[in-house]
């Protein structure tokens, strides 16, 4: 087998881009965005801060403080751009990698760590943030999201649903079924696929022979491919798709063309299956560097601003570490607490059995 080292590194022609890797603003006939300097600075700040949260979490895992971590490195723009497009009443369904979207939904980053530290089964209240719990079973959340969107439609609420999934997930039956349900019910939903080129060690070519966004037409709704490393474009494209959903125009598939710069999770070693030059090519398209270049080129920020954001990131990282280590271990019997919403005889029996078992360890 030959490996094409440049795979995915050249921008495909049908890519919506508003900010080039060099930080040049470009126009697109169908998508526009009018951001104030303050908004651009705040996007930059978000990108830097979520990257730091991610870095700190990887370090915590390496030191044995988390069981596992799924890094978002390289996907910050796709997540902050789409996350910022959401209104408070919109609902988001994530995978296990959407730390940037969680940030935009106001979830305290330390709450993301509980699941990965094994001290809880989720960590936040989905209703409080309109951000569902992380979902590990690939693609299953697309069905949950379409069901939710159909409910929103029946409530006649002015809200959209967005569901995140990966390139690999597009091969799952659940995802294809969810496309059909969304299509035939005209559900108010945005399917946001982060095509990070890999599903663990499986490259994109193992999932599809056509660009992923083009699959949408077979299901009867529009698809668009956006530069997933361009936060302006991700914001503009997602905003438009969400607005279409809210105004009765049904689903859209957004394919955010991006790259997983790190390992699949901390249990994975990507050097075993991908060549270093691929990563090097994508580093030139870094989602943060292009916003920084844009800010400098247009004199919207100075070094003092960049340093201040860096200092804030240091503070955030240190705070996250301190609060992670202070997270209490759960009471062992708590595992039975939320199996059913109402008391259940079998669960009570199991709880009692486990309590007796634990008693056996007492001195």
Q: Just list the catalytic residues.
A: 260, 264, 273
Of 167 and 230, nearer to ligand TPP (C-beta) is 167
Of 19 and 76, which CB lies nearer to ligand TPP in the complex structure? 76
> Any contact of residue 199 with Mg ion (CB under 5 A)?
yes
d(CA 233, CA 87): 17
Min separation Cβ 74 and Mg ion, Å: 11
210 vs 345, beta carbon nearer ligand TPP: 210
- For ligand TPP, which residue of 167, 230, 268, 278 counts as binding (CB under 6 A)? 167
Contact call for residue 99 and ligand TPP (CB under 6 A): no
Structure-token pair, residue 246: 């809210």
Size of the site for ligand TPP (CB under 6 A): 16
Q: How far apart are CA 124 and CA 130, in angstroms?
A: 10
Scanning 32-40, 196-204, 247-255, 278-286 for contacts with ligand TPP by CB under 6 A, the matching segment is 196-204
Beta carbon nearer to ligand TPP, 129 or 264:
264
Using CB atoms, what's the residue nearest to ligand TPP? 166
- Alpha helices, DSSP H only, in the chain? 37-62, 76-85, 99-104, 109-117, 126-129, 140-155, 173-185, 215-219, 231-246, 276-283, 287-297, 303-325, 345-359
Contact status: 168 vs ligand TPP (CB under 6 A): yes
Rounded to 5 degrees, φ, ψ at 192 are: -105, 100
Using rule CB under 6 A, residue 215 touches ligand TPP: no
Do residues 238 and 196 lie in contact, with contact meaning Cβ atoms separated by under 8 Å?
no
Residue 199 touches ligand TPP, criterion: CB under 6 A = yes
Reduce the DSSP state of residue 223 to 3 states and report it. Answer: strand
Which of the 8 DSSP states describes residue 274? S
Q: Which is nearer to ligand TPP, 95 or 183 (CB)?
A: 95
Instruction: Give 181 or 198: the residue with its C-beta nearer to ligand TPP.
Output: 198
Which of 167, 255, 268, 278 is close enough to bind Mg ion by CB under 5 A? 167
- Tokens for 102, please give them: 């969680």
By CB under 5 A, residue 166 contacts Mg ion: yes
Does residue 200 belong to the site contacting ligand TPP (CB under 6 A)?
Answer: yes
CA distance 130 to 103: 12
Residues 129-148 contacting ligand TPP, CB under 6 A: 136-138
The CB-of-80 to Mg ion minimum distance in angstroms stands at 18
Q: How far is the CB of 166 from Mg ion (least distance, A)?
A: 4
Contacts (Cβ under 8 Å, ≥6 apart) of 276: none
Specify the DSSP class assigned to residue 131. B
For the CB of residue 301, give the shortest distance to Mg ion in the complex, in Å: 32
Across the beta sheet with 15-16, what order do the strands follow?
15-16, 223-227, 252-257, 189-195, 161-166, 91-93
Q: Does 68 bind ligand TPP (CB under 6 A)?
A: no
228 near Mg ion, judged by CB under 5 A = no
**Residues with Cβ within 8 Å of residue 132, at least 6 apart in sequence:** 91, 92, 93, 94, 126, 141, 144, 145
**In terms of Cα–Cα distance, which of 238, 237, 234, 232 is closest to 291?**
232
Binding residues (CB under 5 A) for Mg ion: these are 166-168, 196, 199
Binding residues (CB under 6 A) for ligand TPP: these are 95, 97, 136-138, 165-169, 196, 198-200, 260, 264
């Amino acid at each position: 087998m030959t490996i094409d080292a440049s795979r995915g590194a050249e921008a495909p022609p049908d890519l919506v881009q508003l900010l080039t890797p060099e930080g040049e603003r470009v126009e697109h006939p169908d998508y526009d965005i009018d951001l104030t300097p303050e908004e651009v600075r705040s996007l930059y700040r978000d990108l830097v801060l979520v990257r730091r949260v991610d870095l700190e979490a990887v370090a915590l895992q390496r030191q044995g403080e988390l069981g596992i971590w799924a890094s978002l490195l390289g996907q910050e723009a796709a997540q902050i751009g789409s996350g910022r497009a959401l209104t408070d009443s919109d609902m988001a369904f994530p995978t296990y990698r959407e730390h940037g979207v969680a940030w935009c939904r106001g979830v305290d980053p330390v709450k993301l760590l509980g699941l990965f530290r094994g001290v809880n089964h989720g960590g936040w209240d989905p209703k409080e943030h309109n951000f569902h719990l992380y979902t590990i079973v690939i693609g299953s959340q697309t069905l949950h999201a379409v069901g939710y969107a159909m409910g929103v439609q029946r409530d006649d609420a002015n809200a959209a649903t967005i569901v995140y999934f990966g390139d690999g997930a597009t091969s799952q039956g659940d995802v294809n079924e969810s496309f059909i349900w969304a299509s035939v019910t005209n559900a108010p939903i945005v399917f946001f696929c982060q095509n990070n080129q890999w599903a663990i060690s499986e490259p994109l070519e193992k999932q599809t022979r056509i660009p992923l966004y083009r699959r949408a037409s077979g299901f009867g709704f529009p698809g668009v491919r956006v530069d997933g490393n361009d936060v302006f474009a991700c914001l503009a494209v997602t905003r438009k798709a969400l607005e279409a959903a809210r105004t009765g125009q049904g689903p859209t598939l957004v394919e955010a063309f991006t790259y997983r710069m790190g390992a699949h999770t901390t249990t994975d070693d990507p050097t075993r299956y991908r060549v270093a030059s691929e990563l090097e090519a994508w580093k030139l398209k870094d989602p943060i560097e292009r916003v920084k270049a844009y800010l400098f080129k247009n004199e919207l920020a100075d070094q003092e601003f960049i340093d201040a954001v860096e200092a804030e990131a240091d503070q955030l990282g240190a705070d996250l570490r301190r609060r992670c280590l202070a997270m209490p271990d759960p009471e062992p019997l708590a595992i039975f607490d939320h199996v059913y919403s109402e008391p259940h005889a079998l669960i009570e029996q199991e709880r009692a059995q486990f309590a007796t078992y634990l008693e056996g360890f007492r001195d």
